[in-house]
Amino acid sequence: MSTTPTAESAGTDAKAKYARQIEDAFEAAGKLAGSALPPTEFYQQFLNRTLAAIDAPAGAVWLRTPQGFLQLSCQENIDKVGLDARRGGRQCHNEVLRQVFQAAPPRPVLLEPNGRLAPGPGEPGPVPPANLTDHFALFAPIVSPDKQPLGLLEIFQDATHDPRMYPTFLNYTLQMAGYASQYHQFCNARVAAGVEKTYSAVEQFARQIHGSLNPTEVAYHVANEGRKLIECDRLCVGIRHDRWRVTVEAVSGADVVEKASTHVRRLRDLMEAVLAWGEPLTFRGQQDAGLPPAVAAALDAYLHESQPKLLIVQPCRDEREKDATRPARAVLVMEMFNPPEQIDPVVQKLDVVTKHAAPALYNAAELKRVPLKFLWWPIARLQEGLGGKRRFIAAALAVFLAVLVGVMVMVPANLRMEAKGQLQPVEIAKIFPPREGRVVDLRVKPGREVDPDFELVTFHSPELEAEYSRAKGEWIEQGALAADYSKQLQQPGLSKEEKSRLSADRAVAEGRSKRALGEMEAFDQQFNRADSKAESKGVPNPRGAGHFRVIAPDFGSLARARGASKWIVLNDDRRENLTGRTLRPSEEVMRLGNLKGPWQAELKIPQSNVGQILKAFADPNAHLTDNDPVKGARKYLIVDVLLSSQPDTSYEGRLYKDEMAAEAVPNKTDQNENEPVVSAYVKLNIPARTGAPDGFADPGIARDKWIPEAHLVTGLEVRTRVRCGKHALGYTLFHGVWEWFYEKVIFFF
């Protein structure tokens, strides 16, 4: 007897039964989708209704996290379907979830017991996607209106049903996932409406708290309006005006803060402790054991005065507070005496209020710290009276330019022309050979002190030796001839004619001998011959004839009057380079200087600056006059001198007009270009002069402007600025620009 009609009738009854249950499930899911339930509660009820309609033993809802991963939102008996019964079952199941979630476009999937999912176009996972359980696994995507995946609805169904029912179950799963998608759409719409309302309230709140820079006013706006936004019972605001001490500026609902009251003092201590800690404090009826001792003690003291069920102390640190070691500028204390179970929305609202309140409170606190507000506050009033910031800036710029032009035109300033130079003593002797000769001996070293007439260098000249030997031979020969004529004249019996002839010959010989002797004496005097003294005594000189000397010259009368006694060798050691070398009269052998005498700076004045200096000498108001008792009236300009060895001190010198060269000569610049320069000498360390016959007295240069003797080094580089008289400040600063404009533009036309 066949049983097929009975199986068919049982399948028909089951299909009708599930059809009624599915219709009821659709109706219940539609109501749930339009409700305002939170996601956790919605999905729990939604999953229960979904499983009950088709008698499914287990199921789960997976939602996407902000990072893009799937996370279990709720489940029912998921641990009883045998995911962990087989090795790798959980991993294969997770791979199925990943591939179904990443499928494009989203589609439902049905996997039979121990069935595998066909590989998708994406990257394969470490394990194959498979259902290693004894149940049918049904997956349906939860999507957004633009078909972006939001999550998955997963149902495990027994394998005992009619195989023709499983496509129906899959279709049912897909439609239920659609109701979940509708719930998200409705939630987004409600959130958007609520967000828009919240944005409006937050915008109004921000305008109010930024409308003043008075710390108390800002704090009262934050406390009262912030309490409405957060929907808490009390909101208190504290501001730190000094390094640690906090002032309780406002308490919501209170017109005046009694700072001497115990409640406010305990509140201030709690604010200071939390700011010193630097972390937010949250109290929900039970104190955290990990709180710092100071914070815990301050919290206990405050809880004796107030008994909130929810207390949050939130430091308000503005982004401009870069020093993390210092406490935040402000702090908020929120209290709720009957808080909701879920405090996350409250905390989020407090964060929004804190974010907007931090800059407003920081601005007000910083303004209060600004000193001398009574000075610049009228400027702000003036800006307001002129009609705004732009007009004030325009007026300020106009006034500034007018004042600047007036200063540039009316204020006088010294025009200074720059020049570089070197230090050197005034008395300098350059030693040259009197005639061409070979250096035999160089007797001095650098820095040695020598007396006048000291033998510096010994030369040998073959030409001088030949000339001197010729003159000496003639002197000896003619002297002997004159003596012979004298002897002949003494012989008796000579006739008158013979005596006359012998006398004439003797006179000629004596004249020639005197002439040769005069040449020898001239050679000795002119060349300081090294042989003359020995030869005059009849002693042969071992060095031989032709040697001559160069001696140190004598000081001038002015130098002797100032007490000069020794020359100093200024140049470097040249003995190795000059010994044995033949020098011409134009080649310098060495240089001597009187370091104990006056000093000067040898300048190279660029041609672009010479004109201003000459104008100063021509202007009676720009230069000074020194009535020297010897040289008469001399014009001079004051020069500021800066030493390379002492760049932080300025000294003073004088540039006399007669100490400037009348000709410009080429000079190599730092860029290796030939730029004409004019040589000039700046006199330094000029003492006072008194007692002149005409009663003249010159104060000289002040002693504190003298260059110290220790810094008087020959050849030391100096930078100078020649004072060229008073001119307008604008011309003093920009005379180069004016000269360039005149040369390139005006002179061009």
Q: Which of 318-332, 604-618, 681-695, 714-728 has the lowest mean pLDDT?
A: 681-695
Q: Cα–Cα distance between 624 and 635 in angstroms, integer?
A: 6
Whether residues 524 and 551 fall in one domain: yes
State the pLDDT confidence band at 662, using cuts at 50, 70 and 90: confident
State the pLDDT confidence band at 65, using cuts at 50, 70 and 90: confident
DSSP string, 35-51: S---HHHHHHHHHHHHH
Q: Residues 502-513: what's their mean pLDDT?
A: 85
Does residue 420 form part of some domain? no
Whether residues 11 and 160 fall in one domain: yes
Given this model, what pLDDT does residue 681 score?
92
Three-state DSSP class for residue 744? helix
pLDDT of residue 144 exceeding 80? yes
pLDDT of residue 74 exceeding 60? yes
Secondary structure E strands in 31-89 = 58-64, 70-76
Domain closes at, from 190, 225, 253: 190
CATH number at residue 9: 3.30.450.40
Whether residues 627 and 659 fall in one domain: yes
Given this model, what pLDDT does residue 303 score?
92
Whether residues 141 and 16 fall in one domain: yes
Q: Where are the alpha helices (DSSP H) in 528-578?
A: 532-536, 557-561, 575-578
In whole numbers, what is the pLDDT of the chain averaged over residues? 83
Given this model, what pLDDT does residue 2 score?
40
State the pLDDT confidence band at 597, using cuts at 50, 70 and 90: confident
Does residue 73 form part of some domain? yes
Whether residues 323 and 378 fall in one domain: no
Does residue 473 form part of some domain? no
Q: Using CB atoms within 10 A of its CB, is residue 695 exposed (0-12), middle (13-18) or buried (19+)?
A: exposed
Question: Before 105, cis peptide (omega within 30)?
Answer: yes
DSSP string, 673-684: -EEEEEEEEEEE
Domain closes at, from 512, 545, 577: 577
State the pLDDT confidence band at 538, using cuts at 50, 70 and 90: very low
Query: Higher model confidence: residue 542 or residue 21?
Result: 21
Given this model, what pLDDT does residue 272 score?
92
pLDDT of residue 251 exceeding 90? yes
DSSP 689: B
What would the pLDDT profile of 602-627 be if each residue is shown by its tens digit?
A: 999 988 888 889 999 998 888 888 87
Whether residues 153 and 254 fall in one domain: no
Does residue 435 form part of some domain? no
Q: Give, in degrees to the nearest 5, the angle at Cα 654 between 649 and 657.
A: 150
Domain closes at, from 343, 369, 395: 369
Whether residues 289 and 245 fall in one domain: yes
What would the pLDDT profile of 398-427 be if each residue is shown by its tens digit?
A: 999 999 999 999 999 888 989 999 988 888
- pTM (predicted TM-score): 0.46
Domain span at residue 399?
372-410
Dihedrals phi, psi of 360, to nearest 5 degrees = -65, -45
Whether residues 380 and 516 fall in one domain: no
Does residue 99 form part of some domain? yes
Whether residues 24 and 168 fall in one domain: yes
Structurally, how many domains does the chain consist of?
5
What would the pLDDT profile of 280-304 be if each residue is shown by its tens digit?
A: 999 988 888 889 999 999 999 999 9
Q: Cα–Cα distance between 723 and 708 in angstroms, integer?
A: 22
Given this model, what pLDDT does residue 407 score?
92
Does residue 67 form part of some domain? yes
Whether residues 163 and 312 fall in one domain: no
DSSP 271: H
State the pLDDT confidence band at 158, using cuts at 50, 70 and 90: confident
Three-state DSSP class for residue 226? helix
Does residue 200 form part of some domain? no
Does residue 418 form part of some domain? no
553 Cβ contact partners less than 8 Å away, ≥ 6 residues apart = 429, 452, 592
Q: Residues 309-329: what's their mean pLDDT?
A: 89
Q: Where are the alpha helices (DSSP H) in 387-461?
A: 389-410
Whether residues 127 and 234 fall in one domain: no
Whether residues 353 and 384 fall in one domain: no
pLDDT of residue 531 exceeding 60? no
Query: Higher model confidence: residue 2 or residue 501?
Result: 501
Cβ atoms within 10 Å of 303's Cβ, excluding its own: 15
